[in-house]
Structure 1
């Protein structure tokens, strides 16, 4: 994990492996900031959808029980959202380096769309 101090806040960049391990232990809330269309086509099972255009850092839940980690397709949007959360006064926030593309490249399980039927299906499980 990489960390960056921004004022009194800590901005964290987690690797796919770190996210996957924490996700498996139910230690984090994973928030996908991609579009609804991207999410519907493929997503990490159980990740929450909060598209970047609708993001409001002041409405995020506290992190007393679980750390919030954002992800997007490549890591660009999730980094922007994470920095916006810090600007809004959240003192510890994180995003996943490389985004969903890195998740897939690491062959982590996700929900994809069966192109023959249009139905959701497990991939890499």
Structure 2
């Protein structure tokens, strides 16, 4: 279930990991990772786009027509800050992954990680 909160005259959607995974799998959501490039390189959701908080600019985001943009970070703190910045910039509705990447991994959902044995990438978790 997606919870909603009113913030700055807009709506902040707080998605759970299972809802985001299902919407992403169906092509209904795009995932925007706001962590650092180093965090992303170490492990990330396959298909997520990187737009780090340090250089984030709401006006540079693509349209949400056809797909909901859902922000995520490690714990949900940075992604909520980004979502609130978008609302302050005039977006009417934005979304973030509540609990962040930690919640995604705790739910056993798939992600890409560095394999310490080979230094290459490997899939971890359930089916993509």
Length-normalised TM-score, structure 1: 0.97
Q: Which 5+ residue runs of structure 1 have no aligned equivalent?
A: none
Q: Return the alpha-carbon distance in structure 2 between the equivalents of residues 56 and 34 of structure 1.
A: 14
Partner of 2:70: 69
Instruction: Please state how far the C-alpha of 1:62 moved relative to its aligned partner.
Output: 1.3
Q: Does 1:114 align with 2:115?
A: yes
Query: How far apart in 2 are the matches of 1:100 and 1:88?
Result: 25
Question: Number of residue pairs matched?
Answer: 125
Q: For 1:1-125, list aligned pairs within 5 A.
A: 1-125=2-126
Structure 2: gaps of 5 or more residues: none
Runs (4 or more) in structure 1 with deviation over 4 Å come to none
Relative to 1, partners in 2 of residues 1:25 and 1:83: Cα closer, same or farther, differing over 3 Å?
A: same
SS in 2 for 1:89: coil
CA offset at residue 2 of structure 1? 1.0
Q: Cα RMSD over matched residues?
A: 0.9
Superposed CA offset, 1:56-100 (max 9, x none): 001111111100000000000000000000000111100001100
Normalising by structure 2, what TM-score? 0.94
Take 2:7 and 2:71, find their aligned partners in 1: how far apart are those partners? 17
Mapped to 2, the partners of 1:24 and 1:53 lie a distance apart of 28
